[in-house]
Chains A and B, each alone.
Chain A
Amino acid sequence: MRPPSTPPSPALLLQDGQDPRTRAAAARALDARSLRAVFMDLVGRPPRRAEAQEWLGRGRGELLDDLLGSEEFWAHWWHEQLYYFLLIDNFRPRTRAAKEVPTKLAEGRLHYRDALHQAALTPTFDLRNPGADTFVTVVMEQFCGVVVQDRASELEIGKVAYEGGKGRFLGTTAENQADVIRICVEHRDASRHFLAREHQRLLRRDLERKQLRKDAGRLHRDPWAYLALVREWLLSEAYDERLAALVPKSNSLFVRCLFVDLLDRLPEDDELEPMRNALDGLADSRPLRSVVVRLLLESGRAAVPAKAAIEDPTRWIGQQFPRFLGREATPEELRVFVTAFHEEGCEPSTILYALLSHSEYQSY
């Protein structure tokens, strides 16, 4: 199937539908928590301070229009896809073509399916999945969502093609490794599987089967429709419900949030990867997250005011709750924190450490 040769304009893609519920959601004002959540879901970080000031109280639809399809959105999306394929660390694609993927996606020179295809064509994907059995299995599983054990004959045909033989693989003739990849990437099941996992990633729930079938059909016909579908999802009641509940931050998101919240910048790759890997190495990463919080707080690189410089502790503490937790402090919380603040040995970093190592900061 050939996609359209050029993408429709973003304005056309992202205009509001006629559904009044969608229009209402688009107009709904962003509070501190939903603002943080939308930023984290779409660009993998909370808003910087200036952005928080700019967007607080404005409509969700307006923010979606700003973030969706931006280079930062695609950079985060690409990062998430590479993580899905476990193309991380030594397996992270470092070719120029791979690095240019987010830019090309943002400029409309690639659509999502092209990008996934490129991921599978990288040398590191091959290294990550060595040998015919592993390679063909992974491509079938990760692109098409196939339970390979249920499709043993297709696996065997795919392995023959991988080794240069000819066969009918998933309904299409294949005679080399590149064919195996292309057939899986362009398979109808791949559109369905991609949408299902994207919906789970963004809304933390399965897309209802009938809707999945409908959306997957639309995406399969037109891969440029991805952004429009995401916009619809993020203006749905399901996303309202997701915003109403806290969901856990991934380790990667936790580190990125911490850097933005404390340093007002994102971590470099050589900062993010060792931290994320270390956190990923624990079934319960909270003890090490706590270490990472202290690492940043004690580094001298975070802008933590001196205790003497805080003229109004109640106001300062009150500002930290929405800054980190996306909500106001309750009167009781404020009382406890302000009382503690005045005690000898309690520093501003102690207050920040208590908030950033708290279970509430582990979610968003």
Chain B
Amino acid sequence: MHANLSLDRRALLRASTLLGAGAALPSGLLAHSLAPLRPDRRTKRVVLIAFAGGVRTRETFGTPANVPSLRQMADEGVLYTNVATSNLGHFGATMSIFTGISEPRGIRENARGNDPTLFEYLRKGLALPKQDVWVTTTGGAQQVNYSYSLHPEYGVKYGANILDGDGIFNKEFKDLLNDWGMPQPVEARERALLDRLRRGVGGGEDAAREAEQLARVEDYILGELSRGTTDISGAAAGDRKALRLARNLLSLFKPRMLGVVLQNADVAHGSFNAYSEVVRQNDAAIGELMTAIREDEELRDSTAVLVVPEFGRDRDLNSRRGLDHGDGSDDLRRVSCVAWGPDFKSGVESGRDQRVIDVVGTVCDVFGTEAPLAKGGRLQGLYA
């Protein structure tokens, strides 16, 4: 049985408290001890950061002072400097990173796609439990659609857990909870009673089992609300929350797959300076995530991290001294992708043609599975 599934709620709450206090999580308390899914690889986990919102290479690897953390990752990993994107709007372009298919999607479309996502490929192909696949986001309602597709052979039963940092861990919601009275965790005795009642209303054992799994997420959220994520404010606050959550989830659950979707760089429409600050802040937050990985005995030699924007931005400033995304220039259509991990080459810069839709096939390959419906290839020259 999967270790997470046998975890009792009190243990999770204890662990959450420890994490909140900054203490190291007792090894193995929550996370399960994993073997690599491919015997020829050391990678057990992948963190995929969609540095979305429209980020040009000029402000990242073209301005190394903005991105010391990404630069260090590139120095220790592989940097792809010629990665093609499609201008499908933020939602569609980011979706393409996860599906490996460039299909037009409405900019404000708020619906699931028909193409399976990376998370579905991994969960179905590797029989991963839901607790092993998480995504943190910052873009609100639209981005939860990355969890799973409507594809009849995949879909909700292979979906990822998605948490939108800014949507949940914000001052307004926390104030509301405090005003109404923060709910207390349900005691074991009442929990048993509730399980019995739930079994009594249709559903049977499945309903009770599902309720128990949902209760673990509920406890995690309540625990997270008492940590500092809610208090993050200022430039790129939403993105930094998503990265903070990713860091906490990685420490707490040590999932196989952790996606992070950023978005705040789109402030560039109105201000180049604000956009540059978002790039710097996000790099710093990525650096904190990397530090957490490097300092964790179990994670440091078993975790791969990939960072890729969904597209860049226009070549020239607009009339507001900002940067839109629609001129078709190479600044918009070509981005840089960095890949860092125990099985990857170190200190390599590649200018070969790649596409953002190659990421899905690459991650699946790292884990030893496939993305049969994705239309991208793989990042070439990656492995040491």
- Chain A residues lying within 8 Å of B194, measured Cβ to Cβ, are 350, 353-354, 357
CB of A360 within 8 A of CB of B201, answer yes
Q: Which of chain B's residues have a CB closer than 8 A to the CB of A283? A: 135, 144, 146-148, 159-162
**Cα–Cα distance between A132 and B197 once the two chains are bound (Å):** 55
Residues of B within 8 Å of A353, CB to CB, are 194
Q: Are A129 and B144 in contact (CB under 8 A)?
A: no
Do B168 and A288 touch (CB < 8 A)? Answer: yes
Query: If the complex has contacts A274-B170, A283-B160, A283-B162, are A299 and B108 also in contact, measured as CB distance less than 8 A?
Result: no
Q: Check if A86 sits within 8 Å of B110, measured CB to CB.
A: yes
Expressed in whole angstroms, the minimum distance between the Cβ of A44 and any Cβ of chain B is 17
Known A86-B110, A284-B161; contact A333-B201, beta-carbon cutoff 8 A: yes
Contact A345 B170 (CB under 8 A): no
Q: Is B326 positioned at the interface, with any CB of A under 8 Å from its CB? A: yes
- Judge whether B269 is part of the interface by a CB distance below 8 angstroms: yes
Indicate which residue in B107, B162, B186 contacts A129 across the interface (CB closer than 8 Å): B107
Q: How far is the CA of A201 from the CA of B162 in the complex (A)?
A: 24
The contact of A149 among B88, B164, B166, by CB within 8 Å, is B88
B107 contacts A141, CB within 8 Å? yes
Q: How far is the CA of A302 from the CA of B28 in the complex (A)?
A: 42
Instruction: Give the residues from 159 to 180 in chain B that come closer than 8 angstroms, CB to CB, to chain A.
Output: 159-168, 170, 172-173, 175-177, 180
A290 and B218 contact, CB distance less than 8 A: yes
The answer to whether B164 touches A358, judged by C-beta atoms less than 8 angstroms apart, is no
**B150 at interface, CB cutoff 8 A:** no
Do B108 and A351 have beta carbons less than 8 Å apart? no
* Interface residues as binary, A140-173 with B (CB distance below 8 Å gives 1, 0 otherwise): 0110000111100000000100000000000000
The answer for the CA separation of A142 and B217 in the assembled complex, in Å, is: 35
Q: Which of A280, A333, A354, A357 contacts B164 (CB 8 A)?
A: A280
CB distance from B331 to the nearest CB of A (A): 14
Q: Cβ of B167 and Cβ of A277 under 8 Å apart?
A: yes
State which residues 247-290 of A face B: CB under 8 Å.
Answer: 270-271, 273-275, 277-278, 280-284, 286-288, 290
* Chain A, Cβ-Cβ closest to B141: A280
B196 touches A340 (CB 8 A): yes
Q: Which residues of B contact A (CB under 8 A)?
A: 87-89, 104, 106-110, 135, 137, 140-142, 144, 146-148, 159-168, 170, 172-173, 175-177, 180-181, 183-184, 186, 189-190, 193-194, 196-203, 207, 210-211, 214-215, 217-218, 221-222, 269-270, 318, 322, 324-326
22 contacts between A and B (CB under 8 A): A86-B140, A86-B141, A130-B270, A132-B326, A137-B89, A142-B106, A274-B172, A277-B167, A278-B167, A281-B137, A281-B144, A281-B162, A281-B164, A281-B168, A283-B147, A283-B159, A283-B162, A294-B183, A294-B186, A295-B183, A299-B181, A340-B197
- Give 5 new A-B contacts, CB below 8 A, not counting A133-B87, A275-B176, A295-B180: A86-B142, A274-B175, A287-B214, A336-B199, A337-B197
The 10 closest A-B pairs by CB, nearest first: A133-B326, A281-B167, A281-B164, A336-B200, A283-B147, A131-B324, A130-B269, A283-B162, A354-B197, A287-B218
